[in-house]
Structures are given as structure tokens and as C-alpha cells.
Structure 1
Amino acid sequence: MKCLSCKNGNMEASTTTYFADLKNCIIIIKKVPCHKCEQCGEILFSTSVAEKLDVLMDKAEALASELTIMEYDKIA
């Protein structure tokens, strides 16, 4: 699939580190599955991964201290 951002690169299966700056904390989730453009680095999450990230953010915001680092494959 071609990149929606640069229109030139191909999107390849990969993983990334997801950062979220919430009201009371910063969340870092490592090893999140994604598609990444080989040329510009644009990241695209599948619908199921995006939905899981939303759920994780809601849970993490309620439980987290100032900084939380998690691994996707261990919490999703």
C-alpha cells in the first residue's frame, strides 16, 4: 500500500513506540504494531490497534502516576 502522506513510499508492517501526553501523566507504549512508510516514516495504525490504544489510554489515565511505560504485546 502506498503512503497516504508522501504518496511515494510503501507502507510496511513494523512496530513503533506510542507517546501520549494526558492530563495528569505521560504514557509510553513500546512495540505497538503499525504500518510505517519506508520513505517518510509516516505511521498508520489498524482500526483494532487504534481502538485498543484508546482503551489503554482510558485505563492508564485512571491508574497512572506521572510517567508510565508499557509494552503493547503484554497489555493489549
Structure 2
Amino acid sequence: MKCLSCKYGNMIDSTTTYMSALKNCVLIIKNVPCMKCTQCGDELFNTDILEKIEKIIAAAENLASEVSIIDYTKVA
């Protein structure tokens, strides 16, 4: 699949680190599956992954200190 952003690179299976600033902390989720462009590095997440990220964020808001680092492969 060609990249939707740069139109030149190919999207390949990869993992990334997802970061989100919540109201009470910064959440870092490591090892999140994604499709990453070989040219520009743009990342895409499928719907299932985004739903799991939303659940992780909701759970982290209740537990979080200032910074939370979660490994996706251990909680998804």
C-alpha cells in the first residue's frame, strides 16, 4: 500500500511509541502495532488498535501519576 501522506513510500508493518497528554499526566504506550511509511515515517493505526488505545487511555486516567509508560503487548 502506498503512503497516503507522501504518495511515494510503501506502508509496512511496524511498531511505534504512542504518546498522549492527558489532563493529569503524560501517557506513553510502547510497542503499538502500526503501518509505517518507508519514505516519510507517517504512521497509520487500524480501527482495532485505536479502540484498544482508547481503552488503555481510559484506564490510565484513573491510575496515572505524572508520567505513565505502558507496553501495548502486555495490556492489549
Structure 1 consecutive aligned stretches of length 4 or more whose deviation exceeds 6 Å: none
Counterpart CA distance in 2 for 1:61 and 1:39 is 35
| Corresponding residue SS for 1:5 | coil
CA-CA distance at 1:40 after TM superposition: 0.2
Counterpart CA distance in 1 for 2:61 and 2:5 is 30
TM-score (norm 1): 0.97
Q: Which sections of structure 1, spanning at least 5 residues, go unmatched?
A: none
User: How large is the Cα RMSD of the aligned pairs?
Assistant: 0.5
Over residues 2-60 of structure 1, what are the superposed CA-to-partner deviations in whole Å (9 max), with x where a residue is unaligned?
A: 10100111000000000000000000011000000000000000110001001110110
Aligned length in residues: 76
Match of 1:50 in 2: 50
TM-score (norm 2): 0.97
| Corresponding residue SS for 1:4 | coil
Q: Which sections of structure 2, spanning at least 5 residues, go unmatched?
A: none
Identity %: 59
